[in-house]
Structure 1
Amino acid sequence: MNYTIKTEGLHCGHCDASVETELMKVAGVTDADADHETNTVTVECDGEVAPEALEAAVCAAGDAFKVVSITAA
């Protein structure tokens, strides 16, 4: 299952990398691609991953990062 996460607080490539690194730590996540220009993150998963786990990972990447919405793609 894949997810699209709308975020706030991504301002540069370093922000993208921080969020991607934390998301890759979530069990089942196989790829994460953050884009600070659109404030979206595309997440590919092997199986089903709880949206709460994805939100927690984004928030763990830094205090400035917030999740606006998570949709299954």
Structure 2
Amino acid sequence: MESTYTVEGMTCGHCVAAVTEEVKQIHGVTDAVVVLDGGKLTVTSDAPVDFDRIVEAVAEAGDYTVA
């Protein structure tokens, strides 16, 4: 299963790495790809991931929000 989100507030490669690391730690997530240009976050998982878990992981990575 694949879901796409927009992450706001990222400004550099470190931001991308932090968001990627936190999202990949969510139970059931098999991959997370973050693109700085446009703030695209693509999450691949075995089953649907609760949106609140995505929001929490992104916030844990730094001062970023999911739109």
TM-score > 0.5, shorter chain as reference? yes
TM tier, smaller: over 0.9
The percent of aligned pairs where both chains have the same amino acid is 37
From the two aligned structures, give the one with the greater helix fraction.
2
Q: Identify unmatched segments of 5+ residues in structure 1.
A: 69-73
Distance in 2 (alpha carbons) for counterparts of 1:9 and 1:61: 11
Alignment of 1:55-70 (within 5 A): 55-62=55-62, 64-68=63-67
Residue in 2 that maps onto 1:34: 34
Equivalenced residues, count: 67
From the two aligned structures, give the one with the greater strand fraction.
1
Instruction: Report runs of 4+ in structure 1 exceeding 3 Å deviation.
Output: none
Q: Identify unmatched segments of 5+ residues in structure 2.
A: none
Residue in 2 that maps onto 1:24: 24
Residue in 1 that maps onto 2:48: 48
Distance in 2 (alpha carbons) for counterparts of 1:44 and 1:13: 21
TM-score scaled by length of structure 1:
0.85
Say which SS state the counterpart of residue 27 (structure 2) adopts: coil
